[in-house]
């Protein structure tokens, strides 16, 4: 059993403390200190406690950089998302972090603010920080995405989720936006809506283009229905409120709205209600994402439920399993997640 010097540790080091400083203070070997700091049970509890106390008093910090150079791993996953102030994205990140913590990985999270240039800068930062893997939801701005190729050159896996490239060799986690948009539109038609309007964003992102395509194709299948698509510069509560004047000037006035996210749908509902429009009697409305706000507004908003937390957990688990050598992501290019239409009072006309 190691023996310790008597007396209190009073030395204050002006440089970074090392395991050798701790070993010298306690009169034990550096290998014993190293094992004790790692919690190795080969070292008895009393010694581990003494080593931990000494480390704290000397201001010792583990040199993870040196360790990373030896193992060529940082145990860090990078995540790039368009924005953090989104209930859906928060749920995705919570799912990722749950899995990362379980398997001993840290996460570095950055947001692109819907800017391709910022997304490129974030990717370079992640690359320079030597992340073991990267999880990305793309900005809606057009980009050639060449800045993700540098990861492949170093065998660093990249996973995309929600907003994904149209063509990629990387694994993607998505919902069938086309199918659920078509189902939402079909529901409005079944409720007796004849003049439908899809409110979305000016973007070629797979998310919004597929929702618009699902809407248009379903309207075209109905012989006595009309459909238009209205594109905004951004999807927000304020833009939903602002667009109502334009909606009410349309001829004919729409009697069914399918909106690409819940906040914009709620903005429309609030403004329509202020103008005396009855929902759903005069205008039925369906949103997308099942944000908490959809159950607070009156009437409650029909919406598409997208399991964000599960999407985050699956993306992180797939990436970590690949890093551990337990699966090969290159064998799977696309994972389709479940999404379903939740029918509430905002669209129930029958």
pLDDT band for position 10 (cuts 50, 70, 90): very low
* Domains contained in the chain, number: 3
Going by the DSSP 8-state scheme, the letter that residue 85 receives in this structure is S
Q: What is the pLDDT of residue 166?
A: 83
How far apart, in Å, are the Cα atoms of 87 and each of 92, 120, 139, 234, 293?
A: 9, 24, 17, 16, 10
- Give the whole-angstrom CA distance, residue 51 versus residue 30: 11
Neighbours of 254 (CB within 10 A): 25
Picking from 43, 62, 81, the residue at the C-terminal end of a domain is: 62
- Give the whole-angstrom CA distance, residue 185 versus residue 181: 6
Q: Residue 1's domain is classified under what CATH number?
A: 1.10.260.40
Q: Is residue 149 part of a domain?
A: yes
- Whether 56 shows a pLDDT value over 50: the answer reads yes
Q: Are residues 295 and 322 in the same domain?
A: no
Q: Are residues 184 and 291 in the same domain?
A: yes
Q: Is residue 67 part of a domain?
A: no
Picking from 62, 84, 100, the residue at the C-terminal end of a domain is: 62
Q: Are residues 189 and 293 in the same domain?
A: yes
Q: Are residues 300 and 183 in the same domain?
A: yes
- Give the whole-angstrom CA distance, residue 92 versus residue 110: 14
Q: Is residue 225 part of a domain?
A: yes
Helical pair 45-58 and 19-26, crossing angle rounded to 10 deg:
120
- Domain residues for 117? 73-175+308-339
Q: Are residues 12 and 29 in the same domain?
A: yes
The SS3 call for residue 160 is strand
Pairwise pLDDT comparison (113 vs 59), residue with the higher score: 113
- Give the whole-angstrom CA distance, residue 341 versus residue 336: 16
Q: Are residues 267 and 121 in the same domain?
A: no
pLDDT in tens, 133-164: 999 999 988 778 889 988 988 889 999 999 99
For the chain, what is the mean pLDDT? 90
Q: Are residues 2 and 57 in the same domain?
A: yes
Q: Are residues 182 and 277 in the same domain?
A: yes
pLDDT in tens, 175-208: 999 999 999 999 999 999 999 999 999 887 889 9
Q: Are residues 301 and 196 in the same domain?
A: yes
Q: Residue 217's domain is classified under what CATH number?
A: 3.40.50.2300
pTM as predicted: 0.76
- Cβ 92 vs Cβ 81: under 8 Å: yes
Q: Is residue 335 part of a domain?
A: yes
Whether cis (ω within 30° of 0) applies to the bond prior to 280 is yes
How far apart, in Å, are the Cα atoms of 225 and each of 185, 186, 247, 277?
A: 11, 11, 17, 21
- Cβ 94 vs Cβ 37: under 8 Å: no
Q: Are residues 81 and 16 in the same domain?
A: no
């Amino acid at each position: 059993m190691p023996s310790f010097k008597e007396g209190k540790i009073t030395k204050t080091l002006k440089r970074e403390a090392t395991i050798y400083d701790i070993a010298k203070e306690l009169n034990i070997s550096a290998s014993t200190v190293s094992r004790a700091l790692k919690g190795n049970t080969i070292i008895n509890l009393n010694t581990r406690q003494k080593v931990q106390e000494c480390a704290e008093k000397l201001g010792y910090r583990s040199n993870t950089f040196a360790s990373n150079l030896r193992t060529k791993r940082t145990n860090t996953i990078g995540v790039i998302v368009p924005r953090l102030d989104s209930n859906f994205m928060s749920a995705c990140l919570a799912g990722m972090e749950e899995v990362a913590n379980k398997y001993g990985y840290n996460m570095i999270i950055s947001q692109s603010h819907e800017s391709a240039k910022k997304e490129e800068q974030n990717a370079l930062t992640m690359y320079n920080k030597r992340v073991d893997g990267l999880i990305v939801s793309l900005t809606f701005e057009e980009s050639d995405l060449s800045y993700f190729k540098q990861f492949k050159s170093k065998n660093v896996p990249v996973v995309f989720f929600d907003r994904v490239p149209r063509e990629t060799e990387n694994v993607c986690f998505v919902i069938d936006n086309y199918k659920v948009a078509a189902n939402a539109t079909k529901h409005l038609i079944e409720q007796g809506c004849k003049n439908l309007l899809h409110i979305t964003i000016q973007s070629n992102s797979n998310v919004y283009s597929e929702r618009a395509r699902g809407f248009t194709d379903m309207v075209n299948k109905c012989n006595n229905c009309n459909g238009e698509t209205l594109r905004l510069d951004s999807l927000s509560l304020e833009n939903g409120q602002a667009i109502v004047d334009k909606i009410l000037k349309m001829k004919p006035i729409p009697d069914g709205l399918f909106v690409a996210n819940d906040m914009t749908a709620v903005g429309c509902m609030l403004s329509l209600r202020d103008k005396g429009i009855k929902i759903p009697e005069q205008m039925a409305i369906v949103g997308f994402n099942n944000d908490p706000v959809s159950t607070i507004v009156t009437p409650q908003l029909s919406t598409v439920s997208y399991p964000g937390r599960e999407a985050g957990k699956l993306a992180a688990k797939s990436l970590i399993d690949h890093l551990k050598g337990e699966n090969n992501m290159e064998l799977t290019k696309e994972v389709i997640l479940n999404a379903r239409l939740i029918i509430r009072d905002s669209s129930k006309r029958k």
